């Protein structure tokens, strides 16, 4: 039997594909519908491409190839997210300057990607650390700045002491750095922000998007919309008003103290120059070293705070209540919270700092006393000691109390979001410089577009110290003074690399443009991306940022669409012995040796065979030989003569296979495609196969094993390339084993006959019945008011 010589055959076809520019897409070709098939691009770090990349990219390529054979003009670009920590950390470790090591890694990854044989259009690629790309990331910054969507503010921000940089909230979820897992603390720094919060409502709307439900939910939770009200508490000395945000105004009469977030500017205002200053500031330092989880967890021992020396007046009952700073108050809502015995954290804080408490809700509306309780009362019930609201169910009273507060000008209904503005400054070297300069008075000015790219200086030590490395560049300061004048200084922070990746999909169709980042007409034609494939860990980072940037550019008129990604699929994770693969754990599997030994197609199919694409699986090198044997047998069937024993059985099996593979690919179930092909090969070993059927078979495996399919197609006399040929169609009748002929009645009269599977379900039976021309003619005379299906007996419609 002819065996499949992977190394020879695969390189031969890759050369032919490259030489014939098979994967270069004519973006102006209107003869076919467009299809933009995109995977999240890799970071070129020292890790090179690992099995996880392959697991993601190879099936994504199979999908693109399938869509191409289905008749679409498929655009499938690839690039490199090459700024940022993975590349910079690798450079530091290896002692090679980041640009040099990044370029080496990009080259290596390009080679690995080319071994995969994916149909990337390398003519249209981006590398985000190249000046011809990052000038446009800077342009995006300038457009946001010009339109009041970028601003600089001093605020306590998330700091990772391991990465020596600040992080956006999205990159410090659960108080941990998304890069290194280090616990994040707070630091007061002047930083640049993008106003993503302005787009909270738009970002909550996922209408028309075919996205995993879980991802949509994660975004909604992260944005965290809540409906409540702001209530004003005047200070006793009338010097200020504390506006508290609450979703529970029904507890207003039980408020016995107010807590202010340590980050709130009022803290300094209240205590500076007072006897409280020392204690409060010491306590604040301590709190800043806590993670948000520690700050907000329940359990009395972690509650930290200090009295701010002020009292406020409860607008509901005129009572005087003390004002504290407390760790569990975050800069959410107004950053000031009214505190009472109906909240567990408040209860614990009051117990620790000896603040009196009272209840206003009980099961039956009878008075209860906190002294008899060791925890907050959280249950709904009847209000007492609540003025005119006493005796009402607390939930019923809630909207009435908001109205009452509004009438007395003590508060108003308010919507709040958990989402904060996006912090984009980074104190690291390897990123796009923020295109801002400061005049001698320290006022920021945008770098005019004519000076883009605002080049990243090279005369710096790139090791992170916590100070921005760019500050040490002589050339950077000289350049700034030369252009803007003496005493002017450049901004020395670089941009979060998530800015680079927030718009790259707009650049791919327009990589040759020099005067603009993209051409509106071209992008409006090619976007939104039809299929976007990448990891679920990006739900509340990249996928949120990219939607925001698209929406902002749309609002500013640069693009004609709001949403960047129409359909989204997340691949599962590949593990090794159940653990996430990582270089630091030493369990990362390199694809290279397997590709070399078994060939790219075998490796691709083996990964696909591990399990459903969206589930991932555990890597095990043993099973790959099984796939190698299957590919050999498959290739043998294609390349050798055989005699068909049962032609009808062959036709029926083949049409069933076409149907199965088509349906499974549509559902991204590549594993069952491979299983179906294996089963069919077993059948053919016994039954034999003719040349026409071989031509169908080889097209069915083409998306999954592109090199072997191209070779098989050529052996069968097919024209180059198999990927310019059509996806096979199946005859439904041939896929059905036991059929029955049924008469189709319309208003009691038989109007046609259909042949369907004995066990066809109602939807199938009715659909097939409707497709009968004579039946459909009678159906359109009125409205179908009733559908009848009794399996094996009758199909009918009542029309009025």
| Footprint on this chain of Zn ion (rule: CB under 5 A) | 160, 162-163, 177, 179-180, 182
d(CA 26, CA 20): 14
Q: Cβ closer to Zn ion: 179 or 479? A: 179
CB atoms closer than 10 angstroms to residue 8: 10
Tell the smallest beta-carbon distance from residue 335 to Zn ion (Å): 26
Tell the smallest beta-carbon distance from residue 427 to Zn ion (Å): 12
Torsion of CA 244, 249, 251, 254, to 10 degrees: 50
Q: Cβ closer to Zn ion: 176 or 699? A: 176
Q: Cβ closer to Zn ion: 182 or 291? A: 182
SS3 789: strand
Q: Cβ closer to Zn ion: 35 or 159? A: 159
Contact between residue 594 and residue 624 where contact means Cβ atoms under 8 Å apart: yes
Cis, bond preceding 646 (omega within 30 deg of 0): no
DSSP string for 271-300: HTTSTTHHHHHHHHHHHHTS-HHHHH-SSG
| CA nearest neighbour of 425 among 193, 134, 160, 138 | 193
How many Cα atoms are found within 13 Å in the side-chain-facing hemisphere of 422? 29
Q: Cβ closer to Zn ion: 178 or 348? A: 178
**Rg, C-alpha atoms of the chain:** 33
Tell the smallest beta-carbon distance from residue 159 to Zn ion (Å): 9
Q: Cβ closer to Zn ion: 182 or 226? A: 182
Contact between residue 451 and residue 131 where contact means Cβ atoms under 8 Å apart: no
Tell the smallest beta-carbon distance from residue 160 to Zn ion (Å): 3
Can you give the length of the chain in residues?
Answer: 800
| CA nearest neighbour of 475 among 496, 491, 458 | 458
Tell the smallest beta-carbon distance from residue 161 to Zn ion (Å): 8
Pairing status of strand 565-570 against strand 444-446: unpaired
SS3 599: coil
Q: Which helix (H) or strand (E) holds 16?
A: helix 6-19
Tell the smallest beta-carbon distance from residue 294 to Zn ion (Å): 18
Provide long-range contacts, Cβ within 8 A and 24+ apart, for 671-677: 671/608, 671/609, 671/610, 671/611, 671/612, 671/613, 673/608, 673/704, 674/605, 674/608, 674/609, 674/627, 674/630, 674/704, 675/609, 677/630, 677/634, 677/701, 677/704
d(CA 110, CA 201): 40
Q: Cβ closer to Zn ion: 163 or 689? A: 163
Count H helices and E strands in the chain, helices first: 26, 29
DSSP state of 385: S
Which three-class secondary structure string do you get for 541-597?
CHHHHHHHHHHHHHHCCCCCCCCCEEEEEECCEEEECCEECCCCCCCCCCCHHHHHH
Q: Cβ closer to Zn ion: 49 or 168? A: 168
DSSP state of 393: B
Torsion of CA 92, 94, 100, 106, to 10 degrees: -100
Angle, helices 691-701 vs 624-639, to 10°: value is: 150
Tell the smallest beta-carbon distance from residue 89 to Zn ion (Å): 10
d(CA 49, CA 63): 20
Tell the smallest beta-carbon distance from residue 272 to Zn ion (Å): 33
Contact between residue 543 and residue 535 where contact means Cβ atoms under 8 Å apart: no
Q: Cβ closer to Zn ion: 86 or 706? A: 86
Q: Cβ closer to Zn ion: 163 or 744? A: 163
Tell the smallest beta-carbon distance from residue 570 to Zn ion (Å): 24
Tell the smallest beta-carbon distance from residue 171 to Zn ion (Å): 9
| CA nearest neighbour of 122 among 62, 75, 174 | 75
d(CA 523, CA 509): 7
CB atoms closer than 10 angstroms to residue 785: 9
Tell the smallest beta-carbon distance from residue 281 to Zn ion (Å): 27
Tell the smallest beta-carbon distance from residue 178 to Zn ion (Å): 8
Q: Cβ closer to Zn ion: 182 or 747? A: 182
Tell the smallest beta-carbon distance from residue 168 to Zn ion (Å): 12
Tell the smallest beta-carbon distance from residue 464 to Zn ion (Å): 10
Q: Cβ closer to Zn ion: 177 or 280? A: 177
Tell the smallest beta-carbon distance from residue 543 to Zn ion (Å): 21
Contact between residue 701 and residue 634 where contact means Cβ atoms under 8 Å apart: yes
Q: Cβ closer to Zn ion: 163 or 581? A: 163
Tell the smallest beta-carbon distance from residue 176 to Zn ion (Å): 8
d(CA 739, CA 652): 13
Torsion of CA 287, 293, 294, 295, to 10 degrees: 40
Q: Cβ closer to Zn ion: 172 or 397? A: 172
d(CA 402, CA 405): 5
Q: Cβ closer to Zn ion: 541 or 722? A: 541
The vertex-173 CA angle with 172 and 175, nearest 5°, equals 70
d(CA 434, CA 453): 11
Q: Cβ closer to Zn ion: 143 or 164? A: 164
SS3 263: coil
Tell the smallest beta-carbon distance from residue 181 to Zn ion (Å): 7
Q: Cβ closer to Zn ion: 179 or 562? A: 179
| CA nearest neighbour of 760 among 741, 775, 777, 745 | 741
């Amino acid at each position: 039997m002819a065996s499949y010589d992977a190394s020879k055959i695969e390189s031969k076809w890759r050369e032919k594909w490259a030489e014939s520019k098979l994967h270069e897409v004519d973006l102006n070709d209107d003869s076919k519908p467009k299809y933009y098939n995109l995977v999240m691009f890799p970071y070129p770090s020292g890790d090179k491409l690992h099995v996880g990349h392959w697991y993601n990219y190879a099936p994504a390529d199979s999908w693109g190839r399938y869509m191409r054979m289905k008749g679409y003009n498929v655009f499938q670009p690839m690039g490199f997210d090459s700024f940022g920590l993975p590349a910079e950390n690798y450079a530091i470790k290896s002692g090679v300057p980041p640009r040099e090591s990044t370029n080496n890694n990009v080259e290596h990854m390009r080679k690995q990607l080319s071994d995969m044989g994916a149909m990337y259009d390398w003519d249209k690629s981006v590398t985000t650390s190249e000046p011809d790309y990052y000038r446009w990331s800077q342009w995006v910054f300038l457009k946001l700045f010009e339109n009041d969507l970028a601003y600089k503010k001093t605020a306590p921000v998330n700091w990772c002491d391991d990465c020596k940089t600040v992080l956006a909230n999205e990159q410090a979820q659960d108080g941990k750095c998304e890069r290194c897992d280090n616990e994040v603390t707070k630091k007061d720094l002047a930083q640049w922000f993008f106003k993503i919060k302005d787009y909270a409502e738009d970002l909550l709307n996922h209408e028309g998007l075919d996205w995993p439900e879980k991802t949509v939910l994660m975004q909604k939770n992260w944005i965290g919309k809540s409906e409540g009200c702001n209530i004003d508490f005047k200070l006793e000395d009338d010097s200020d008003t504390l506006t508290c945000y609450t979703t529970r105004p029904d507890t207003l009469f039980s408020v016995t103290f107010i807590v202010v977030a340590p980050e709130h500017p009022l803290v300094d205002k209240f205590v500076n120059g007072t006897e409280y200053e020392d204690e409060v500031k010491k306590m604040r330092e301590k709190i800043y070293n806590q993670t948000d989880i520690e700050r907000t967890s329940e359990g009395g021992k972690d509650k930290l705070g200090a009295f701010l020396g002020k009292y406020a007046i409860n607008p509901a009952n005129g009572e005087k209540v003390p004002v504290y700073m407390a760790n569990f108050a975050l800069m959410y809502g107004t950053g000031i919270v009214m505190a009472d015995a109906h909240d567990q954290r408040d209860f614990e804080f009051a117990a620790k700092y000896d603040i009196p408490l009272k209840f206003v809700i009980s099961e039956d509306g009878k008075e209860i006393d906190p002294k008899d309780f060791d925890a907050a009362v959280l249950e709904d019930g009847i209000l007492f000691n609540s003025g005119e609201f006493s005796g009402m169910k607390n939930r019923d009273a809630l909207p009435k109390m908001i109205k009452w507060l509004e009438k007395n000008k003590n508060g108003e209904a308010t919507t709040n979001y958990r989402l904060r503005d996006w912090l984009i400054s980074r104190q690291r070297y390897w990123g796009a410089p923020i295109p801002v300069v400061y005049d001698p008075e320290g006022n920021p000015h945008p770098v005019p577009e004519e000076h883009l790219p605002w080049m990243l200086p090279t005369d710096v030590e790139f090791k992170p110290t916590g100070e921005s490395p760019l500050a040490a560049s002589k050339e950077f300061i000289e350049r700034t003074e030369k252009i803007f004048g003496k005493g002017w200084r450049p901004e020395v922070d670089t941009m979060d690399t998530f800015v680079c990746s927030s718009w790259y999909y707009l650049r791919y169709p327009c990589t040759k443009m020099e005067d603009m980042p993209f051409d509106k007409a071209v992008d409006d034609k090619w976007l939104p991306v039809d299929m976007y494939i990448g990891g679920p860990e990006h739900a509340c980072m990249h996928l949120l940022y990219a939607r925001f940037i698209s929406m902002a550019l749309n609002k500013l008129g640069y693009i004609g669409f709001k949403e960047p990604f129409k359909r989204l699929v997340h691949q599962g994770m590949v593990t090794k012995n159940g653990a996430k693969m990582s270089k630091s754990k030493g369990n990362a599997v390199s694809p290279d040796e397997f590709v070399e030994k078994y060939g790219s197609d075998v490796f691709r199919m083996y990964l696909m065979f591990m399990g459903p694409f969206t589930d991932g699986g555990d890597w095990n090198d043993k099973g790959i030989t099984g796939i190698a044997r299957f590919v050999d047998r498959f290739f043998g069937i294609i390349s050798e003569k055989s005699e068909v024993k049962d032609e009808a059985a062959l036709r029926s099996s083949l049409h069933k296979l076409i149907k199965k593979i088509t349906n499974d690919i549509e559902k991204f179930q590549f594993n069952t495609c491979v299983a179906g092909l294996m089963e069919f090969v077993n059948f053919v070993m016994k039954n034999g196969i003719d040349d026409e059927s071989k031509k169908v078979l080889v097209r069915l495996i083409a998306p999954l094993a592109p090199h072997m399919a191209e070779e098989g197609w050529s052996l069968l006399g097919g024209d180059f390339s198999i990927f310019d040929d059509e996806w096979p169609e199946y005859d439904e009748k041939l896929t059905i084993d036991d059929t029955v002929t049924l008469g189709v009645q319309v208003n009691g009269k038989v109007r046609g006959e259909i042949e369907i599977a004995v066990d066809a379900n109602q939807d199938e039976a009715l659909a097939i019945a409707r497709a009968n021309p004579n039946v459909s003619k009678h159906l359109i005379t009125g409205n179908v008011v009733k559908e009848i299906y009794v399996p094996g007996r009758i199909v009918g419609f009542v029309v009025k």
